[in-house]
């Protein structure tokens, strides 16, 4: 028998937008770039839960430097006066970020509200540098000026699933990025 929550999850028809090889090749390039840019540093990678974890796991193994790992979680709400006020951060940081080189690792940047809220919070901790790394960027959806130094792929306004990204918590385990087909 299906549970109530299972019945609420709709099957999403999708097509492959980015296959496993394409993603792996791009992540290897990004890791190489970060390795060069942070030579002789020990960056702290701050993964954004949950959507950033699959990308993060692959990316960190392409970074050939000593590095440290942290996580933050972000949840959006429809209250608050500005969009980034609607993003509530969770998770205790155990590594002090003061004086560190920080890389925020996201799965997807859409409106930019989430990443802006995270940047604002982390800047308060006085890192020496802070940059954003995202697997997927949707530049046409940004609602503010965003400086994203490392992006895997720029796409249009499509809703995508897989490689950590969900639709109602499902599909994160797809090993590729699928584009949901609007019906």
Residue 132 as a binder of ligand IMP (CB under 6 A): the answer is no
Task: State phi, psi for 81 to the nearest 5 degrees.
Answer: -90, -35
Indicate if 110 belongs to the active site: yes
Task: State phi, psi for 107 to the nearest 5 degrees.
Answer: -80, -45
Buried b (16+ CB within 10 A) or exposed e, 110-144: bbbbbbbbbbeebeeeebeebbbbbbbbbeeebee
Q: Return the one option of ligand IMP, Mg ion, none that residue 47 interacts with (CB less than 5 to 8 A, by type).
A: none
Q: Kindly state the smallest distance separating residue 139's Cβ from ligand IMP, in Å.
A: 11
Residue 164 as a binder of ligand IMP (CB under 6 A): the answer is no
Binding region for ligand IMP (CB under 6 A) out of 27-35, 60-68, 93-101, 160-168: 160-168
Residue 113 as a binder of ligand IMP (CB under 6 A): the answer is yes
Residue 176 as a binder of ligand IMP (CB under 6 A): the answer is no
54 to 93: interface string for ligand IMP, x by CB under 6 A: ----------------------x-----------------
Residue 49 as a binder of Mg ion (CB under 5 A): the answer is no
Query: 137-176: which residues touch Mg ion (CB under 5 A)?
Result: 166
Cα dihedral 120, 122, 127, 133 sign: negative
Phi-psi category of residue 118: left, alpha or beta, with phi > 0 → left and psi -120 to 50 → alpha: alpha
Q: Kindly state the smallest distance separating residue 106's Cβ from Mg ion, in Å.
A: 12
Binding site for ligand IMP (CB under 6 A): 51, 76, 108-114, 159-161, 165-166
Q: Which residues are known to be catalytic? A: 110
């Amino acid at each position: 028998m299906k549970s109530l929550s299972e019945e609420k999850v709709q099957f999403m028809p999708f097509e492959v937008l980015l296959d496993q090889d394409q993603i792996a090749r791009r992540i290897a390039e990004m890791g190489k770039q970060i390795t060069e840019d942070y030579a002789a540093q020990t960056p702290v990678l701050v993964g954004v839960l949950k959507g950033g974890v699959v990308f993060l796991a692959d990316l960190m193994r392409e970074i050939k430097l000593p590095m440290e790992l942290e996580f933050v979680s972000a949840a959006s709400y429809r209250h608050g006066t500005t969009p980034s006020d609607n993003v509530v951060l969770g998770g205790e940081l155990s590594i002090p970020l003061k004086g560190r080189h920080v890389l925020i690792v996201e799965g997807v940047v859409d409106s930019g509200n989430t990443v802006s809220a995270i940047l604002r919070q982390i800047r308060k901790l006085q890192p020496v540098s802070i940059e954003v790394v995202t697997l997927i960027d949707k530049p046409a959806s940004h609602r503010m000026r965003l400086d994203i130094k490392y992006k895997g792929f720029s796409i249009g306004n499509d809703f995508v699933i897989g490689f950590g990204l969900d639709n109602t918590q499902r599909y994160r385990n797809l090993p590729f990025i699928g584009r949901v087909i609007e019906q």
